[in-house]
Amino acid sequence: MTGNEVPTIAQFFDAWELFQYPAMSGAIAGALMGWLGVYVVLGRMVFLSAALSQAAGLGVALAFWLQIGWGMADSPLASPWVGATVLTVVATLLLLADRSPAGTRREAILGFAYLAGAAGTLAVGTRIAAEVHDIESLLFGSAVAVLPDDFRLLATVAAVILAIHAWGSRGMIQAAFSPDAARVRGLPVGALRVVLFGSVALAISVCTRVVGALPVFALSVLPAAAATRLAPSVRWSLWLAAGIGAFAGFAGYVAAFLWSLPVGASQTLVAAAITGVVFAAEVPIALRARWKRARPAA
């Protein structure tokens, strides 16, 4: 292919053996974060995923630092997966420990986790110059390759979490949005909320390690924002958000190949475009309803 030749879809699928793992990772991460994002969006915790993904990024950066600066390359404690999981779980426990009325400290905790994670990742990145590209990929999702082992771990985690949530969706929805009614029905609200937050924490830690913090945040908010506008119920929103997220994750990777864009930014833009179309379609409907209300009766 010459320097002026524009890549095509056919060329992308001709090289499918090369692109299959990162492209499918984007689709799987999008489906998983889209589903869980419905709880995040409807629960008015949009910055939860941003804060946890930055905490996961800091965990991965610290793992690289332990490997390079402290000679712990062979230690399981210095594994990027372990670092991402530990820091994400710590941030989640801080949120669950908030017993203040109406969670008044939640926003402060989210802000702390986001800022400490982002600043810490950049600061640690200066100490591990050999892994600067990995740090940038972690923050912005600029990686174009995914190792087979990473793909298999992501696929396994996503399958387990989605299976649990699909099986227990009714109880999970009630525990998340109608806890009093759930208690009346005898549902274990506390346990269900722990499963919900634990699922979000685990999903973010794994997805951040594979696709980066920026697309994880985008895929956990934008597909859910579109789905909740279109679907007639929360349950349908979950399935629709998963579908939109999977499409954005996959199509974003393809778009990055076609137009030489950063992968994470491309996935984010595809998700934003879908959400923007949904929001734009609501404008004439809202204007017509407002005009009818304002028109004087005959």
Fold of 22-289: ABC transporter involved in vitamin B12 uptake, BtuC (1.10.3470)
* Mean confidence (pLDDT) of the chain: 87
Looking at residue 220, its pLDDT comes to 96
* Nearest one of 100, 49, 76 to 212, comparing CA atoms: 49
Tens of pLDDT along 90-119? Answer: 888 887 777 665 556 777 888 888 899 889
Tens of pLDDT along 175-191? Answer: 999 999 999 999 999 99
- Distance, CA of 274 to CA of 268 (rounded, Å): 10
What does the block give as tokens for 26?
């984007």
Looking at residue 53, its pLDDT comes to 86
- Worst-scoring range by mean pLDDT, 2-6, 70-74, 222-226, 254-258? 2-6
Look up tokens 């859910």; give the residue.
224
Label residue 137 by pLDDT band (50, 70, 90): low
Axis crossing angle, helix 80-96 with helix 106-125, rounded to the nearest 10:
160
Contact partners, residue 224, CB within 8 Å, separation at least 6: 34, 37, 38, 40, 41, 42, 237, 241
Instruction: Enumerate the H helices of the chain as residue ranges.
Output: 9-14, 16-42, 46-69, 80-96, 106-125, 132-140, 148-167, 169-177, 179-184, 189-211, 213-230, 234-259, 263-294
Axis crossing angle, helix 46-69 with helix 213-230, rounded to the nearest 10:
160
- Distance, CA of 157 to CA of 174 (rounded, Å): 24
Looking at residue 118, its pLDDT comes to 85
pLDDT at 296 over 70: no
- Distance, CA of 188 to CA of 270 (rounded, Å): 38
- Distance, CA of 229 to CA of 234 (rounded, Å): 10
Per the model's pLDDT, the better-predicted residue between 298 and 176 turns out to be: 176
Label residue 152 by pLDDT band (50, 70, 90): very high
Give how far Cα 73 sits from Cα of 10, 79, 126, Å. Answer: 41, 8, 18
Name the phi and psi angles at 183, rounded to 5. Answer: -65, -40
DSSP 8: -
Q: What is the pTM of this model?
A: 0.87
Looking at residue 124, its pLDDT comes to 85
What type of residue sits at position 93? L
Looking at residue 291, its pLDDT comes to 74
- Distance, CA of 238 to CA of 205 (rounded, Å): 20
